[in-house]
Structure 1
Amino acid sequence: MDQDSGYNHTLQNGETKGKKSAKVTMLQKEVGLLSGISLIVGTMIGSGIFISPKSVLLYSGAVGPSLLIWAACGVLSTLGALCYAELGTMITKSGAEYVYLFESFGSIVAYLYSWTTVMVLKPSSFAIITLSFAEYAAAPFFPGCSPPILVTKCLAVAAMFLIVAVNCLSVKLASYVQNVFTVAKLLIIAVIAVAGMVLLSQGKTENLSNAFETSSISFGSIGLAFYNGLWAYDGWNQLNFITEELRDPYRNLPMAIIIGIPLVTVCYVLVNVAYFTVMTPSELLLSPAVAVTFGDRVLYPVSWIVPLFVVFSTFGSANGSCFTAGRLAYVSGREGHMVKILSFISLKRFTPAPALIFNGFLSLLYILPTDINTLINYFSFAQWFFYGLTAFSLIVMRFTRKELNRPVKVPVVFAGLMTLVSFYLVLAPIIDKPEIEYLYCTIFILSGLIFYYIFVYKKVTWAHEMMRPITMHLQLLMEVVPPEKME
């Protein structure tokens, strides 16, 4: 919103006077292929696959359709990610949907996306993941009952502070944390999957035989089953948020997608098969945490490893969420769609510290209410609207931006299918159960136009003058500088 692109680089000049900085003041390319795969896999696999595959089973009606939907969600996520691979290698800027919408539909649409995502979707998602982490971390200290809300919220806040601090300190450290926790969650998934295969080899196939017999699926319930399945796959677009920090993005972006998402798909299907080897559909639907129930029945006396690794999984997912959320706020600030301080970079550590801290502060506010799950449920339709619009932007730019180099070029039918499915998922929950809250969410999204008109389009002088001293003091306090211009 603060449009002063020629802001006085006071700190930068003071720090570098008399000596030349070893690195230019911009985000460094420190994320390799392994870290890229870890970011995708680690952000996608959170707590969902361990806690509530029952939502997919509930709406699909039987074991067979449930497993097919898990696999189909993986295929759809892969198609969407391949569309993003073309967009990410064609436009090698961080920010994912934001930069693609900006290039194809212009400033207003990109602003509404950043307004909705930076202010609501990213911080509330970060808050929910850290709360899930806190619930599992606190559970062993309160056997037989749920941990007090105050305890879980304090643990969630502590996790937030730790994750934001790690991401502010070093991109390499944040990537290392992501890699370690991704390995941990893949380890527990391997344990569950192998245990399931052993049980299958022992003849535990009762729940998998006649898997389609009791199915009573309808057109509306298919949509809701996909909605819940795709929620567990959410995060397939995370690598596009950090394209500028990816080494050799033309190779590593599509490679990470091609390796990471099918890996998650195989994991999800195998884990669900394992669940059905020890639980009937009715038992699975009644289980408060499916993986914990599985561990109690199969892994005793070491069943405690399941909740421990769920803690690791949610922490890693929260770290990935924070990592990418900071980049979106950073790019929005750089384009003048958020306050300019968000686009500044730590002079010593080359991280977007102000953007990361801002996302952490908003996430802290979302932890305070009693129930934020309702909020994110109502706003999730907006996420799928922007997914669909981004896929459609690929089709648009095939005609309007023919001059752009496309190292990766996917069949346009992939983008068309992703667009149709995304808009169906936007309409499905609203048509199935129309509620006034969806209107409130839409009004909030469109209210961004007011801020756009005042601060971006009109660039009012009083806002600029008000932000100048605030920006200067924050710059000195955090030791951050504006990034150098991209080539």
Structure 2
Amino acid sequence: MGEENLKKRKGEDNKKEDGQSIQSHEPQAMNLQKEVGLISGICMIVGTIIGSGIFVSPKSVLANVGAVGPCLTMWAACGILATLGALCFAELGTMITKSGGEYPYLMEAFGPIPAFLFSWTSLLVTKPSSFAIICLSFAEYTLAPFYPGCDPPQVAIKCLAAAAIGKTENFKDSYKDSSVSFGSIGLAFYNGLWAYDGWNQLNYITEELKNPYRNLPLSIIIGIPLVTVCYVLINISYFTVMTSTELLQSRAVAVTFGDRVLYPASWIVPVFVAFSTIGSANGTCFTAGRLVYVAGREGHMLKLLSYISVKRLTPAPAIIFYGIVAIIYIIPGDIDTLINYCSFAIWIFYGLTVLALIVMRFTRKDLKRPVKIPTIIPVAVTLASILLILAPVISAPELAYLYCVLFIGSGLIVYVLFVYFKFNWPQKISKPITMHLQMLLEVVPAEEVTE
């Protein structure tokens, strides 16, 4: 097969004219295709957010604040913060219409080093660990019905990786015995915001959005408030059938809820949880693969990772790489630990990205801004990010947070060697490997996009 056959493939555009089908044989460019519309965008946001978080985080949020009232308040506050953050990303996404989420925004505002550190941390820590958490949650809830009254074996978990009855007793004195402190609020926010994680997913596939200037902000405005309402109502449903103590002692909150409300049809709950988590995992894999693709295209990762499939026009090598790293995290993974340290790293870059929006208000006044939010919103989100980063470190300092910072900093060594000084592996080794992988995966470099 010649190179021209790899670089181009014939596309078919079926049109109806006088009752006959006419086929157009114009060549189709080898690029990611704009096929995500408004409905698809809303489904992407809602489907990616509502994954494992709402079934995993309620226990941790309640454990950190100690009472029903602060717990429900925390869920609503997390939804508001996620919405404000997403509005900042809506402006960034319509101002810089490139895929890759935070990566192109950090590149534009601060240069290649912060952008590289983001891709370094995301590709090797936050994204694969996030994927691992979702898959572990899927495994736990799928196995829970088969092990009533006890925890499923860890080996099995690794391998498998609303109704309310109207009771109000559990809501009386809902703020009594609360244990709210600076550090506990931060950890509660970590777990609550983990359930909302995914609010920025459309920014990872901006190049595949139809009419991004309209569909990106609309998807955010519709999708995230919808999720917030669902989450608050789901937590209210939990507390109508369980006391705080019962919820904290539950091995799988949604399964306990199902046993109380839907018995003998309670098996429906873990089935739907499994569907929810596997759907969220699919959306997460879809968007995170685009970050790997963009980093490879910019020369910050292996060039092969920026190649796209000849048949499906998707970044197949990037998705495969992301999946392999995520599997590594599943092996030793503990859900609560992964959430805390993953959230710590994530909010460092969320805060830096929103700060980039503020900086570009002064340094890049020439950029077109189809969506422009009040300056108070990015300022508030930046301050909230700083508080979220500092709260657990100050109140309950652990070496793991230091290790996280050191890992992010170690990316500077990789950047200097492989990006700045352009150290390459010997061509005799790298060239044949790249060539054989290219043929095996049937992938080619993407074509340059001309505006």
TM-score by length of 2: 0.92
Q: What is the CA–CA distance in structure 1 between the aligned matches of 2:318 and 2:61, rounded to whole Å? A: 36
Partners of 1:129 and 1:317 within 8 A in 2: yes
Per-residue Cα deviation, 1:15-41 (whole angstroms, up to 9, x for no partner): 468977742000001111112111111
Aligned partner of 2:379 among 416, 425, 432: 416
Local SS of the residue matching 2:28: coil
Provide closer, same or farther for how the CA distance between residues 476 and 301 of structure 1 changes in structure 2, counting only shifts above 3 A: same
Provide closer, same or farther for how the CA distance between residues 30 and 214 of structure 1 changes in structure 2, counting only shifts above 3 A: same
1:402 is matched with which residue? 365
Partners of 1:11 and 1:481 within 8 A in 2: no
2:255 is matched with which residue? 292
Aligned partner of 1:132 among 132, 137, 149: 137
2:34 is matched with which residue? 29
Q: Which residue type is aligned with residue 36 of structure 1?
A: G
Which runs of structure 2 are paired with 1:365-404 in the superposition (5 Å)?
365-369=328-332, 371=334, 374-375=337-338, 377-404=340-367
Aligned partner of 1:146 among 144, 151, 155: 151
Q: What is the CA–CA distance in structure 2 between the aligned matches of 1:217 and 1:67, rounded to whole Å? A: 13
Which runs of structure 2 are paired with 1:228-243 in the superposition (5 Å)?
228-243=191-206
1:437 is matched with which residue? 400
Q: Which residue type is aligned with residue 269 of structure 1?
A: V
Which runs of structure 2 are paired with 1:66-81 in the superposition (5 Å)?
66-81=71-86
1:224 aligned onto 2:215: no
Local SS of the residue matching 1:53: helix
Partners of 1:52 and 1:290 within 8 A in 2: no
Which runs of structure 2 are paired with 1:58-69 in the superposition (5 Å)?
58-69=63-74
Provide closer, same or farther for how the CA distance between residues 385 and 354 of structure 1 changes in structure 2, counting only shifts above 3 A: same
1:13 is matched with which residue? 4
Q: Which residue type is aligned with residue 296 of structure 1?
A: D
Deviation, structure 1 residue 372: 6.7
Q: Which residue type is aligned with residue 67 of structure 1?
A: L
Per-residue Cα deviation, 1:228-258 (whole angstroms, up to 9, x for no partner): 2112111111110000011111111001100
Deviation, structure 1 residue 350: 0.3
TM-score by length of 1: 0.85
Which runs of structure 2 are paired with 1:297-336 in the superposition (5 Å)?
297-336=260-299
1:250 is matched with which residue? 213
Per-residue Cα deviation, 1:79-136 (whole angstroms, up to 9, x for no partner): 0000000000000000010110000000011000000101111112212211221222
Deviation, structure 1 residue 295: 1.2
Per-residue Cα deviation, 1:181-237 (whole angstroms, up to 9, x for no partner): xxxxxxxxxxx2xx22xx33xxx2122233234434233332222222112111111
Aligned partner of 1:112 among 100, 109, 117: 117
Q: Which residue type is aligned with residue 234 of structure 1?
A: D
Q: Which residue type is aligned with residue 325 of structure 2?
A: L
Partners of 1:124 and 1:372 within 8 A in 2: no
1:94 aligned onto 2:99: yes
Which runs of structure 2 are paired with 1:157-176 in the superposition (5 Å)?
none
Local SS of the residue matching 1:207: helix
Q: What is the CA–CA distance in structure 1 between the aligned matches of 2:313 and 2:150, rounded to whole Å? A: 45
1:354 aligned onto 2:317: yes
Q: What is the CA–CA distance in structure 1 between the aligned matches of 2:177 and 2:381, rounded to whole Å? A: 30
> Bigger shift: 103-112 or 214-223?
214-223
1:471 is matched with which residue? 434
Deviation, structure 1 residue 14: 3.9
Q: What is the CA–CA distance in structure 2 between the aligned matches of 1:475 and 1:423, rounded to whole Å? A: 43
Provide closer, same or farther for how the CA distance between residues 352 and 206 of structure 1 changes in structure 2, counting only shifts above 3 A: same
1:428 is matched with which residue? 391
> Bigger shift: 76-85 or 139-148?
139-148
Partners of 1:346 and 1:480 within 8 A in 2: yes
Deviation, structure 1 residue 275: 1.4
Q: What is the CA–CA distance in structure 2 between the aligned matches of 1:64 and 1:448, rounded to whole Å? A: 42
1:452 is matched with which residue? 415
Q: Which residue type is aligned with residue 197 of structure 2?
A: D
Per-residue Cα deviation, 1:47-102 (whole angstroms, up to 9, x for no partner): 22124412222222322222111111111100000000000000000001011000
User: How many residues were matched structurally?
Assistant: 436
1:339 is matched with which residue? 302
Deviation, structure 1 residue 142: 4.2
Q: Which residue type is aligned with residue 147 of structure 1?
A: P
Q: Which residue type is aligned with residue 425 of structure 1?
A: L
Q: What is the CA–CA distance in structure 1 between the aligned matches of 2:383 and 2:191, rounded to whole Å? A: 17
Partners of 2:107 and 2:115 within 8 A in 1: yes
Q: Which residue type is aligned with residue 42 of structure 2?
A: I
Deviation, structure 1 residue 480: 0.6
**What fraction of aligned residue pairs are identical, expressed as a percent?**
67
Partners of 2:142 and 2:274 within 8 A in 1: yes
Q: RMSD value over aligned CA atoms?
A: 2.0
Local SS of the residue matching 1:309: helix
2:224 is matched with which residue? 261
Deviation, structure 1 residue 461: 4.9
> Bigger shift: 62-71 or 380-389?
62-71
Partners of 1:136 and 1:310 within 8 A in 2: yes
Partners of 1:59 and 1:225 within 8 A in 2: yes
Structure of greater relative contact order (alpha carbons < 8 Å, 6+ residues apart): 1
Partners of 1:51 and 1:288 within 8 A in 2: no
**Unaligned 5+ residue runs, structure 1?**
1-9, 157-191
2:168 is matched with which residue? 205
Q: What is the CA–CA distance in structure 2 between the aligned matches of 1:484 and 1:40, rounded to whole Å? A: 28
Which structure carries more helix by proportion?
1
> Bigger shift: 453-462 or 471-480?
453-462
Partners of 1:112 and 1:445 within 8 A in 2: yes
Q: What is the CA–CA distance in structure 2 between the aligned matches of 1:140 and 1:208, rounded to whole Å? A: 29
Partners of 2:308 and 2:443 within 8 A in 1: yes
